[in-house]
């Protein structure tokens, strides 16, 4: 009878990964209990056992690229691995108004010092645009400018930023384009620092759920927030945006997405990084939007998230000497696993990044795509 170690060896061999091998992406096992734990529990056990120090890989990002490109996550998924998460999302509204602040408390409120160390100087926590960029800072400025150009932003226009983070877009749009911006966040820490960073600018930062927004706006943007909305709220979200967008305004939605049916989010990411997160699929997006909007443009540049995440990880590691005064070594391994597993996933094209431009009645004469 084949042993669990042999079974794991055979599975990983299909992806070009060797147990205790010499290549940077090979996996090195420090605790023999790893095999039973991971083969029975799947991806959540893979992440938990890494944080526990049961295994390592010199290039964690390449390890994930290899196994995800080989689709091992789909072929060898233990029964029930993501069942609880999927059933919970089907039966319950995990992103209801009363629960919408959980992700702010669990993820974004863990310390502005962490994000200041990890991100660029503008504190952009979404995918950069690397087409003409060489550094993380350049890529993020290119992305912010790309968003402004896609909505044809003009001086004096009022923009709603749903999920404004630490105010990076609001600050950029106000300073570079002369816009007025209202930003929404469900993180108290983000709201406090965003207000500080945008002081003196025509920017208002509100600590509130998107469903409580008031007023009408020339344009609306949402950069990296839709992953927290949830399928049961997609129509509500689109209706809310439509209700508060002027008839001739544009709405830009920037979101991570999935093209794999039946996949919501990795169970480990859901448990430890982004609680109640769900990656939308194209049909879900277009289905929810079609009642309220015309989709003018759909731009996919997921590989740019790979570069962004690698840059974030480099910053995180280079600042760990300071960060470890507040965070444990377990947190160090957890955060590294989060950043590098996601980098590998985008490199393998397992998950996607989309920027979608929508209008309420269709742009007269047609919308000219901006890249």
| Helix 43-51 × helix 34-41 angle, to 10° | 150
Annotated catalytic residue within 127, 148, 164, 342: 342
Alpha-carbon distance of 109 to 101, in angstroms, equals 10
Cβ 169 vs Cβ 144: under 8 Å: yes
Output 268-273 pairs: Cβ under 8 A, ≥24 positions apart: 268/43, 268/44, 268/46, 268/47, 268/48, 269/338, 269/342, 270/85, 271/44, 272/47, 272/334, 272/338, 273/107, 273/338
Angle CA(66)–CA(71)–CA(77) in degrees, nearest 5?
Answer: 115
148 in active site = no
What count of residues does the chain have? Answer: 371
Residue 359's CB is within 10 A of a number of other CB atoms, namely 19
Query: Which residues does the annotation mark as catalytic?
Result: 342
């Amino acid at each position: 009878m084949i042993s669990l170690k042999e079974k794991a060896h055979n599975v990983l061999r299909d992806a070009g990964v060797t147990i205790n091998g010499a290549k940077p992406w090979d996996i090195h096992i420090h605790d023999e209990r790893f095999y039973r734990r991971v083969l029975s529990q799947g991806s959540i056990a893979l992440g938990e056992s890494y944080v526990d120090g049961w295994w390592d890989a010199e290039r964690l990002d390449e390890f994930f690229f290899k196994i995800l490109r080989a689709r091992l996550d789909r072929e060898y998924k233990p029964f029930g691995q993501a069942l609880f998460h999927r059933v919970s999302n089907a039966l319950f509204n995990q992103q209801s108004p009363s629960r919408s602040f959980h992700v702010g408390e669990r993820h974004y409120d863990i310390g502005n010092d962490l994000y200041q160390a990890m991100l660029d100087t503008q504190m952009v926590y979404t995918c950069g645009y690397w087409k003409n960029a060489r550094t993380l800072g350049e890529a993020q400025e290119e992305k912010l400018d790309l968003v402004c150009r896609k909505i044809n932003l003009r001086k004096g226009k009022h923009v709603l930023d749903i999920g404004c983070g630490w105010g990076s877009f609001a600050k950029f749009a106000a300073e570079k384009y002369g816009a007025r911006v209202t930003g929404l966040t469900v993180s108290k820490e983000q709201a406090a620092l965003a207000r500080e960073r945008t002081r003196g600018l025509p920017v208002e930062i509100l600590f509130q759920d998107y469903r409580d927004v008031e007023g009408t706006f020339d344009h609306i943007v949402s950069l990296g927030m839709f992953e927290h909305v949830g399928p049961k709220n997609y129509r509500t979200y689109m209706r809310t945006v439509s209700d508060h967008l002027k008839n001739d305004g544009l709405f830009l939605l920037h979101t991570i997405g999935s093209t794999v049916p039946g996949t919501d989010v990795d169970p480990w990411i859901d448990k430890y990084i982004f609680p109640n997160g769900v990656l939308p699929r194209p049909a879900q997006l277009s289905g929810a939007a079609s009642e309220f909007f015309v989709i003018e443009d759909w731009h996919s540049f997921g590989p740019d998230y790979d570069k962004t995440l690698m840059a974030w990880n480099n910053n995180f590691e280079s600042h760990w000497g300071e960060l470890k005064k507040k965070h444990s070594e377990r947190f160090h391994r957890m955060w590294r696993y989060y950043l590098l597993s996601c980098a590998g996933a985008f490199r393998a094209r397992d998950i996607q990044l989309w920027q979608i431009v929508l209008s309420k009645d269709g742009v007269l004469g047609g919308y000219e795509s901006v890249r």
